[in-house]
Amino acid sequence: MSDRKNGSGNHLKKRGVFRLPRSNLPYYGQALGILMFDVEGREANEFQVNADTFTRIPGDVGNATTFKFPVQFKVMKGVFPKDVVTKSPTKETEEKIIKYTKEFEEEGVRAIGTTCGFMSYFQPAMAAAVDIPVFSSSLQQVPIVSGLIGKDKKVGIITFDLRALSKEHLTRVGIDDSVPIAVFGLNTLPAERSWYGISEVEPKKRLELIEDRITYAATQLVKANPDIGAILLECTNLPPAGAAVQKATGLPVFDVITLLNWAYDAVVRRRFKGFV
């Protein structure tokens, strides 16, 4: 094993068994760590992110009550949405993300998730930097879903911005030309259903608006591609609409929450209870 993977602390020399203590910090039980963007300041606002109106309701990856298990969030200071939601992220951005990825491992989490599907671009580098599994993007599920539904059907992907989704974002998580997909970008929604214009902060009303936009996107995607066999929500703010999308399309729906539930179940196995 390399020096990097052995690490300098004793707790880093016992990889593969999740022994305790995992860190020297005074808290435990945070098996899943979730990396978040910095949304403060001019850089964030330029990408239409307003911390005052950007409410993460239950179902959103950034709301801790979405999960049935404890999670720990870490804001990547200096890493803004515009740095990642772009066709060509910089090496500087990658280095910052790797720094926070390593910090999470040091703090004792067993797996790492993120709050943006476009983080798929950094999956190889993040996974190589640590000795715990990295679940960077809901897009990681696409090859698996394709295998489940068969190659005669497409995986329908709803993405935050089709203009910024490059081939690299796909291939770095195993989505190559052998995986049939159809993609709908929320940037193509009509003005009256603009995803970017949602400013409602009241949870119930916000949910209604999200469901309206995303079910419209899903039905348009399926209408244009009747051979779609499953829906994948790339954007991590879309899972609140998952049930509505399934009801509207009658299809299986995958997103970052299905990914992170899978992640947690893999790194925190429990004995079964029952009787014979």
Residue with tokens 């929500």: 233
CATH code for residues 140-255: 3.40.50.1860
CA diameter of the chain: 61
| pLDDT in the model for residue 195 | 86
Q: Positive or negative CA dihedral for 249, 147, 234, 192?
A: negative
pLDDT in tens, 14-71: 555 466 656 677 778 889 999 999 987 655 555 555 566 678 999 999 999 999 999 9
CA–CA separation, 232 and 253 (whole Å): 6
Question: Could you tell me if 80 and 93 are in contact, meaning their C-beta atoms sit under 8 angstroms apart?
Answer: no
| pLDDT in the model for residue 17 | 47
CA–CA separation, 262 and 265 (whole Å): 5
What is the mean predicted confidence (pLDDT) over 262-269? 95
Domain boundaries, the chain: 3-138+261-267, 140-255
Question: Could you tell me if 45 and 84 are in contact, meaning their C-beta atoms sit under 8 angstroms apart?
Answer: no
Q: pTM of the predicted model, to two decimals?
A: 0.89
CATH code for residues 3-138+261-267: 3.40.50
What is the mean predicted confidence (pLDDT) over 243-251? 98
Residue with tokens 């066999």: 229
| pLDDT in the model for residue 276 | 93
CA–CA separation, 66 and 232 (whole Å): 18
Q: Report helix, strand or coil for 266.
A: helix
Q: Is a pLDDT exceeding 90 seen at residue 241? A: yes
pLDDT in tens, 156-215: 999 999 999 999 999 999 999 999 999 999 999 998 998 887 888 889 999 999 999 999
Q: Is a pLDDT exceeding 80 seen at residue 94? A: yes
CA–CA separation, 172 and 45 (whole Å): 28
151 HSE (CA, 13 A, CB side): 5
Q: What percentage of the chain carries pLDDT values higher than 70?
A: 87
Q: Is a pLDDT exceeding 90 seen at residue 222? A: yes
- The band of 133, judged by pLDDT with boundaries at 50, 70 and 90, is very high
CA–CA separation, 188 and 137 (whole Å): 22
- The band of 2, judged by pLDDT with boundaries at 50, 70 and 90, is very low
| pLDDT in the model for residue 3 | 46
Nearest to 233 by CA among 34, 196, 221, 261: 221
